[in-house]
Amino acid sequence: MVKGTHQAKEDPRNKDIQIFINGTFHARDQAKISVFDSGYLVGDGVWEAFRVHEGKLVFIEQHLDRLWQSAKVIGIDLPFSRGTLIANVRKTLEVNDMHDHIHVRVMVTRGIKKTPSQDPRLTISGPNLVIIAEHKQAAAESKNQGIRLFTSTYRRGSPDYLDPRLNCHSKLHEVQALMQAIEAGADEALMLDVNGFVSTCNATNFFMVKDGEVWTSTGQYCMNGITRSKVIALCEAKEVVCYQKNFSLFDVYGADEAFVTGTFGGLTPVVNIDGKSIGGEEAGPVTRQLSTWYEELILQAIH
């Protein structure tokens, strides 16, 4: 089993799921899209992922805000409304008889190309919409034992060539960082920004705790995660000091605790970075408290 923030419990029901593609449903092993699709050819598309608990699409408005913003940034004119997309998500859940502990991924590409090319003017149909819903619960191992990070040599870039806040299909940069981490014996990658400050991880947002204070990056060079924003807001509401600021590996190696945040895993403790122990062998007290508050926030959102 793959360890990390996306480590999930095995669920045999996922073998028989139906996948939504442009208005029709297909069995998992029959769900296909053209090799001329823009996403396959050049990574030209955007996506969003969110959780479903007790039939409720958790924090859905924030996720849709980000999807619409990302599509606008790269010039994809979404041919459906938010209401229509939500209806299609609910139809996908209904077809699969899904109600709780569900992970939904929505993917939108520019469409089918006339010929392999970067040029968006050669798109002859689209956009293409795919919705994948799976029975998916985070495995307890990562939550209980924490994860190990390795600082990648690949940097989170500046917004003048590919804004790190854009949730696009082009994730090769993050894949390369993760491969470095795996080859180094870690679970995931910690990434620095163009100035050498700590930015984020390859698929999650990074936080550290020092003397009771919570630190995270400025947000200029990372995906502004929904869970990240919820944790920052919780700190403010609960009067926990939280700084969004520049800090370096010097600070990280001396941290009392560290954790990462993401839609799937919530808060996951980090126990080792670059071979250096961070805190103890499990989540520290601030991480545990914030995780409890976050779970309570989800319960409030669905009731």
Counting Cα atoms < 13 Å in the Cβ hemisphere of 106 gives: 26
Radius of gyration of the chain (CA): 19
Cα–Cα dist 28/41, whole Å:
22
What's the confidence (pLDDT) of residue 40?
Answer: 96
pLDDT at 303: 84
- Cα distance between residue 125 and residue 285, in whole Å: 52
Neighbouring-strand partners of residue 156: 193
User: CB neighbours of 75 closer than 8 A, spacing ≥ 6?
Assistant: 120
**Residue 217 to residue 4: CA distance in whole angstroms:** 21
Q: Which amino acid makes up residue 19?
A: I
Please state, as a whole number, how many other Cβ atoms lie within 10 Å of the Cβ of residue 180. Answer: 18
CA distance 228 to 102: 20
Residue 139, pLDDT score: 80
Residue 268: CA atoms inside 13 Å, Cβ hemisphere, count? 32
Integer Cα distance of 106 and 127 in angstroms: 13
Which 3 state secondary structure label does DSSP give 61?
helix
d(C-alpha 207, C-alpha 251), whole Å: 11
Q: What is the pLDDT along the chain (303 residues), one digit of tens a residue?
A: 567 777 788 999 999 999 999 999 999 999 999 999 999 999 999 999 999 999 999 999 999 999 999 999 999 999 999 999 999 999 999 999 999 999 999 999 999 999 999 999 999 998 999 999 999 988 877 777 899 999 999 999 888 888 999 999 999 999 999 999 999 999 999 999 999 999 999 999 999 999 999 999 999 999 989 999 999 999 999 999 999 999 999 999 999 999 999 999 999 999 999 999 999 888 999 999 999 999 999 999 998
Neighbours of 265 (CB within 10 A): 22
Using CA atoms, how far residue 144 sits from 4, 92, 230, 268, in Å, is: 12, 32, 22, 9
Write down the pLDDT at residue 2: 65
> What does the alpha-carbon distance between residue 45 and residue 75 come to, in Å, rounded to a whole number?
10
